[in-house]
Amino acid sequence: MKFNLLTLIILSLFLTVFNGCDKSHQEEKTISERKKDTTAVETINFFLFVGKWYGKVGIYKYDLTIKSTETVWWHPRENVNLLISKNKIKPAFFITVRKTGFKGNFPFFEKVKIYRISSDLSSTEAIYEIKDGMQITAHWNDDENLEVVFTSIDKTDPTYINRHVKTFDNYGKLVNDELEVFNLINDGFPELLPKRNPTVSVSGKYGISLIGDSVFLKTAESDSLRFITAINLNLNKIKWSDDEDFLFISTLDLENETIKTRQPETSQLFLYSIQKDSVIASWGGAGVKSFFTLDSLIVFDNGFGRNSSISIYNYITAKFIDDLKINGECGLYFIPEL
């Protein structure tokens, strides 16, 4: 992600970020004292996303009921690198990075902060800092705790790479700290997070198979394969609906020849109905197509830069609910960039 160093922006200008939205900011927004959150499983009528305004990336909320947007957190000297949130009543986390780039052939980052947002969005607090490293990411682990994974060059021997895994509970407390050491010559560069796609549904009734550029559905009751779709980009994410009536597939390639054109084809998103045995909706074009599902909705981001947007689609009624755009750039978990 690219960051531009800006001088302190007059915070009163924030009133113009979103039309019709009331905004109030401090240099670092912490609204009230920390409250203890429960990890309830109810779904919610809003979602969080990231937005870039005046060169700085912050956290925003979209209300599905009234179709409005408001700012949750923004800082004139920090940039959100990654948002980690769930579509349920649960605290969210995000990572800010002061600087990223390359030194020689190796990536680097400087001054990372990890923040926690309370489940009711009433407070935001910094819970941990990392001075520097090479690469960093984060995700929910199987216990639904936050895992932050980053690599760093060993301080005593640069032929070794350290892979750190720090686990935080829902209250932002560090509950586990692991370290793996890799030898660059013998082991190669460590993978931050291995790709984990659920090729088999939770019940075990369905699965998918990739043969060449074609995706097929497998069923536990038959050895035959059902053709789903052909893809011309790399398989990126697979998700099954809770009732296992639908399958969501995204593809991604940020290095193909189309990125040099005005209309890059970098991602695809397919919605497949198992009952109808057909792709009922699909989207292609620019962007990453990060997505999540909420009840009968699929929410996904589209495009790059000023052309970025977030689409909300009801796949039961086959209708678009909204196409969210802001006065800047936006994405579900990060700002999509080439």
From 187, 217, 245, give the residue that closes a domain. Answer: 187
Highest mean pLDDT among 2-6, 36-40, 145-149, 260-264: 145-149
Q: Are residues 126 and 264 in the same domain?
A: no
Cα distances from 13 to residues 1, 8, 18, 25, 325, in angstroms, run 25, 12, 11, 10, 19
- Residue 228 forms part of a structural domain: yes
The residues facing 57 across adjacent strands are 52
Reported confidence tier of residue 33, pLDDT bands at 50, 70, 90: very low
Q: Is the pLDDT of residue 31 over 70?
A: no
- Residue 74 forms part of a structural domain: yes
pLDDT of residue 88: 81
| CA Rg value for the chain | 21
Q: Is the pLDDT of residue 5 over 60?
A: no
pLDDT of residue 151: 96
Q: In terms of pLDDT, which residue wins out, 38 or 118?
A: 118
Q: Where in the sequence is the domain holding 54, given as residue range(s)?
A: 11-187
Q: Are residues 227 and 113 in the same domain?
A: no
pTM score, whole prediction: 0.83
The secondary structure of 119-164 as a DSSP string is: TTSS-EEEEEEEEEES-EEEEE-TTS-EEEEEEEE-SS-TTEEEEE
Q: Are residues 19 and 158 in the same domain?
A: yes
The residues facing 176 across adjacent strands are 167
Cα distances from 56 to residues 81, 177, 183, in angstroms, run 10, 31, 37
What is the Cα–Cα distance from 326 to 301, expressed in whole angstroms? 12
Provide the 3-class DSSP secondary structure of residue 335.
Answer: coil
Across the range 115-127, mean pLDDT stands at 96
- Residue 268 forms part of a structural domain: yes
Q: Are residues 211 and 183 in the same domain?
A: no
pLDDT of residue 262: 87
From 187, 218, 237, give the residue that closes a domain. Answer: 187
CB-based contact 152:164 (threshold 8 Å): yes
CB atoms near residue 325 (< 10 Å)? 18
Q: Are residues 299 and 240 in the same domain?
A: yes
What is the Cα–Cα distance from 242 to 275, expressed in whole angstroms? 14
pLDDT of residue 43: 61
Lowest-pLDDT range of 18-22, 164-168, 235-239, 304-308: 18-22
What is the Cα–Cα distance from 210 to 216, expressed in whole angstroms? 6
Cα 18-22-28 angle, rounded to 5 deg:
90
Q: Are residues 100 and 238 in the same domain?
A: no
Q: In terms of pLDDT, which residue wins out, 106 or 20?
A: 106
Q: What are phi and psi of 229, to 5 degrees?
A: -165, 165
Structural domain count, the chain: 2
pLDDT of residue 196: 76
- Residue 337 forms part of a structural domain: no
Q: What are phi and psi of 12, to 5 degrees?
A: -65, -20
- Residue 129 forms part of a structural domain: yes
What tokens appear for 44 in the block? 């919610």
Q: pLDDT per residue over 223-282, tens digit each?
A: 889 999 999 999 999 999 999 999 999 999 999 889 889 889 999 999 999 999 999 999
Per-chain mean pLDDT for the chain: 87
Q: Are residues 115 and 239 in the same domain?
A: no
- Residue 243 forms part of a structural domain: yes
Q: Are residues 90 and 183 in the same domain?
A: yes
Across the range 185-209, mean pLDDT stands at 89
- Give me the CATH number covering residue 269: 2.130.10.10
Q: Are residues 149 and 237 in the same domain?
A: no
From 142, 158, 187, give the residue that closes a domain. Answer: 187
- Residue 6 forms part of a structural domain: no
Percent of the chain residues past pLDDT 90, beyond the cut = 73
- Residue 48 forms part of a structural domain: yes
Q: Are residues 33 and 178 in the same domain?
A: yes
Q: Are residues 137 and 276 in the same domain?
A: no
Residues 6 or more apart from 213 whose CB is under 8 A from it? 230, 231, 232
What is the Cα–Cα distance from 76 to 96, expressed in whole angstroms? 12
Q: How many helices (H) and strands (E) does the chain have?
A: 1, 23
pLDDT of residue 236: 95
pLDDT of residue 157: 92
Q: Are residues 96 and 232 in the same domain?
A: no
